[in-house]
Amino acid sequence: MRVGVYQYDEKVSPSLACDRAKLACDQAKKQLEQSWCLYTSAMQEKEELKQYLIDHLDEAIEKHYLQVYYQPVIRTLTGRLCGAEALIRSRASCHRATLFPSLKR
């Protein structure tokens, strides 16, 4: 079982408090050593950046911020081409660490 913890704040709506606890719980699922995680504002900032990058993906493609490369996939038993995989490289280095995991999802 994993638990996300958000410290109650009267200024925050119950709905937003639940959203923040969910962010912390999602983070707890990634941790092996601990079954719980305390919400931090950095989690929200990371989530907002991830959503921004996803929302602006079409713009990044139009402005050629992303470069697509195709790499052949060779079947080792026969040595024959059996497909290809697309690799995406960002020309802008500022958010690479967040962009690619977001796109995989």
- Smallest CA-to-CA distance from 4 within 23, 25, 31, 28 is with 25
Instruction: Tell me how far apart the alpha carbons of residues 42 and 32 are, in angstroms, rounded to a whole number.
Output: 20
Give me the domain span that covers residue 73. Answer: 49-105
Q: Does residue 105 surpass a pLDDT of 80?
A: no
Whether residue 44 is contained in a domain is answered as no
- Average pLDDT, rounded, for the chain: 86
In a domain, 87, yes or no: yes
Based on the structure, what is the number of domains in the chain?
2
pTM, full prediction: 0.59
- Regarding whether 60 and 29 lie in a shared domain, the answer is no
60/14 same-domain check: no
The pLDDT score that the predictor gives to residue 99 is 57
- Higher-confidence position of 5 and 60: 5
